[in-house]
Structures are given as structure tokens and as C-alpha cells.
Amino acid sequence: MTISPEESEALTPTEVTNSGSSEWARVGIVAAASALAGGLAAAWWYRKTLKTLRQSQEIDPDPEFGISSDQAEGD
């Protein structure tokens, strides 16, 4: 069975467009936006807790934190 040139042209694969790469770019943009929105939502959700922790550290610093002057001189 022989194939004519007209049939051969009809059977050749068409060029693939760059739609595949644009789809991946779109997925990447959506993923980045989702991560950013998630981070902002978490920060907003825990803002009161973070504020309370910062205030408690300013009011009542841990007196036993770090190296005491006695220990620093003895070593």
C-alpha cells in the first residue's frame, strides 16, 4: 500500500503549541498566590497570640537567661 503525498501531509503530526508551558506557568502563579495567602491568613489568625507573647517578654524578662557574671568569671 502506497501513501500519496497529500495523505502523507495529512498524517504528519501538527506542531505542538506552547500551551503546555503556559499552563504550568499559570499553575505556578496560582500556587505562589495560594502560599502567600496562606501565610498572611496564618499571621492574621495568630496575631493576638504573638502580641501577647511579645508583651510578656517585655514585662517579665527571664532573669536566669544567659550566663551570670559569677559563671563568666569562674571559667
Question: What was the pLDDT predicted at 17?
Answer: 55
Helix pair angle (19-45, 47-59), 10° resolution: 50
Cell match 497529500: residue?
6
- pLDDT tens for 8-59 read 565 556 555 566 789 999 999 999 999 999 999 998 889 988 888 888 776 6
Instruction: Give pTM, 2 decimals.
Output: 0.43
Domains of the chain, by residue range, sit at 28-59
How far is the CA of 40 from the CAs of 21, 45, 51, in angstroms?
29, 9, 16
Cell match 501531509: residue?
9
